[in-house]
Amino acid sequence: MLEDITPGSQTDVYSLLAAWDNSIEAALERGGGSRFREIMRQYLDDVIDLVDTAATTDGVDWDFLLDCVDATRLETWITIARRYLPT
């Protein structure tokens, strides 16, 4: 999944997020919370980095980020939003 993504490509990120959502849903159906946590630990940082790169090529592309939020699960985006919001 991640190896097919071109860093900075918003189109690739949309495909990644669709695959990510499918993986998360399958993990929850098959293995419950433990499988979900395993996938999150294994891939979340890489997914966030790819979204971050695609969203910040020329400043922050908020429209792209909003599209990403609409396309996937909220808990993933809470983590991503923490990168953009001041602490």
Residue 60 reports pLDDT greater than 80: yes
Q: Which residue range(s) make up the domain with 76?
A: 7-84
User: pLDDT value at position 86?
Assistant: 59
User: pLDDT value at position 54?
Assistant: 94
Whether 52 is covered by a domain: the verdict is: yes
Q: How many domains does the chain have?
A: 1
CB 21 within 8 A of CB 69: no
Whether 2 is covered by a domain: the verdict is: no
List the one residue out of 3, 4, 23, 38 whose CA is nearest residue 73: 23
pLDDT band at 85 (very low <50, low <70, confident <90, very high): low
Q: Which of 29-33, 66-70, 75-79, 80-84 has the lowest mean pLDDT?
A: 80-84
Whether 1 is covered by a domain: the verdict is: no
Whether 45 is covered by a domain: the verdict is: yes
Whether 62 is covered by a domain: the verdict is: yes
DSSP state of 7: T
